[in-house]
């Protein structure tokens, strides 16, 4: 199993590992696996090795160097994949922290439905658990690269579930941040930065760097939570619901969360038409703003009674490469792009088709640290 981001950074800072060797190993894994997975659209071999050498130099690792005071590089030597060919635009804090960008991951290609799959340099991106299934999108290659162990971290963006859905369907952790907390080029405010990682601890390392906010250890548990299988409007399939609910029960048994019954069941208005109106040039947005305001009111009421909302991440299992038909994989995620709440997908087990499913955690605005702390407790206590 490849090292985690935390293990890599600690080893490079302690001079037990060389960043150049770590990055070379990641590039070798990509070269070996990507012809089948198609997770990357570009791989930056020479540039990545050059930057890794710079990290070693900053830590006094060049041959013949006199050891000097080492810089604080919290992610020293960590290989990171960035979403799409323009992903470096938001990767500045990671590079400054010592990460080395090894390539750009796949996103949907021309004429490809954005909620479905990715298109790498060698063809369609496949789910690492079943090549005949989609990994989800649009951060498709990011999730595949992390799930396959090619890199420990990959950046993403999430406008309707584009980090959380592929994280769920590839069996890794995916975090969507609060709207407005980090820079975004999306004028609608729906799309925000996020990360895909093999563990909550690595996702927390990303968050500490990009937000400069600590993620406390020893968060008091259990955390109060409300469960909803459908948010009052979605029609999820039985299996993703059962897998997510079983994951909740494991968290309850381990003392990570405590389920509470709200005074009124959570019933959101279907955010789909509102989301689409906000994305469509020239559309009448009056109804969209009404739906957003009403759902915000209902969510505020829920978060006055509980700290977390728990749902399945997706309404279905991963579909084939011919597409989902008329079913949207976003039905349980895009409500929180409309509302701006931070959310995280945590692995929730495997369905009968052998593909992973996710448990979706939603927190009040600005509470990314709570999501990450709960996810980390889940990994420690339950092994999620």
Task: Point out the residues that are catalytic.
Answer: 83, 138, 162
Q: How far apart, in whole angstroms, are the C-alpha atoms of residue 325 and residue 275?
A: 19
Residue 333 burial (CB count, 10 A): 33
For strands 257-259 and 123-124, give the pairing: unpaired
Give the residue among 370, 361, 264 at the shortest CA–CA distance from 310. 361
Q: How far apart, in whole angstroms, are the C-alpha atoms of residue 100 and residue 106?
A: 18
Alpha helices in 60-172 (DSSP H): 92-96, 140-147, 164-170
Q: How far apart, in whole angstroms, are the C-alpha atoms of residue 11 and residue 115?
A: 38
Distance of CA 107 to the CA centre of its chain: 14
3-state secondary structure of 294: helix
**Residue 51: partners with Cβ closer than 8 Å, 6 or more residues away:** 23, 95, 100, 101
Q: How far apart, in whole angstroms, are the C-alpha atoms of residue 182 and residue 337?
A: 14
Q: What angle do CA 250, 261, 309 make, to 5 degrees?
A: 60
Q: What angle do CA 263, 294, 261 make, to 5 degrees?
A: 15
Give the residue among 289, 292, 295 at the shortest CA–CA distance from 268. 295
- In angstroms and rounded to an integer, the radius of gyration of the C-alpha atoms of the chain is 20
Q: Tokens 């080893």 — which residue?
A: 11
């Amino acid at each position: 199993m490849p090292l985690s981001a935390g293990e890599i950074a600690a080893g490079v800072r302690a001079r037990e590992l060389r960043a150049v060797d770590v990055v070379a190993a990641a590039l070798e894994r990509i070269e070996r696996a990507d012809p089948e997975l198609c997770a990357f659209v570009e791989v930056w071999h020479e540039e990545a090795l050059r930057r890794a050498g710079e990290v070693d130099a900053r830590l006094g690792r060049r041959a013949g160097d006199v050891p000097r005071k080492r810089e604080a590089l919290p992610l020293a030597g960590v290989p990171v994949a960035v979403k799409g060919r323009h992903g470096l635009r938001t990767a500045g804090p990671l590079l400054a922290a010592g990460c080395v960008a090894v390539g750009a991951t796949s996103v949907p290609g021309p004429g490809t439905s954005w909620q479905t799959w990715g298109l790498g340099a060698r063809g369609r991106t496949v789910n690492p658990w079943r090549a005949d299934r989609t990994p989800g999108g649009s951060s498709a290659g990011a999730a595949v690269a992390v799930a396959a162990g090619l890199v420990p971290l990959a950046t993403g963006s999430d406008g309707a579930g584009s980090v959380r859905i592929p994280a769920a369907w590839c069996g890794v952790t995916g975090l969507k941040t609060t709207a407005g907390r980090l820079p975004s080029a999306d004028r609608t405010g729906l799309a925000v930065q996020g990360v895909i990682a093999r563990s909550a601890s690595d996702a927390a390392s990303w968050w500490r760097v990009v937000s400069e906010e600590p993620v406390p250890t020893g968060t008091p548990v259990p955390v109060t939570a409300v469960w909803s299988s459908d948010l009052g409007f979605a029609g999820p399939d039985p299996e993703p619901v059962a897998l997510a609910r079983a994951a909740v029960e494991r968290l309850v048994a381990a003392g990570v969360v405590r389920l509470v019954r709200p005074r009124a069941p959570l019933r959101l208005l279907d955010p789909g038409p509102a989301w689409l109106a906000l994305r469509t040039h020239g559309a009448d947005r009056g109804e969209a703003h009404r739906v957003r305001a009403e759902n915000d009111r209902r969510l505020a009421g829920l978060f006055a009674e509980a700290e977390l909302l728990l749902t399945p991440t997706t309404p279905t299992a991963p579909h084939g490469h011919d597409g989902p038909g008329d079913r949207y994989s976003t039905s349980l995620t895009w409500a929180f792009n409309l509302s701006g709440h931070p959310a995280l997908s945590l692995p929730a087990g495997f369905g009968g088709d052998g593909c992973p499913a996710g448990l979706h955690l939603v927190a009040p605005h600005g509470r990314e640290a709570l999501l990450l702390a709960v996810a980390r407790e889940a990994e420690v206590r339950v092994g999620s």
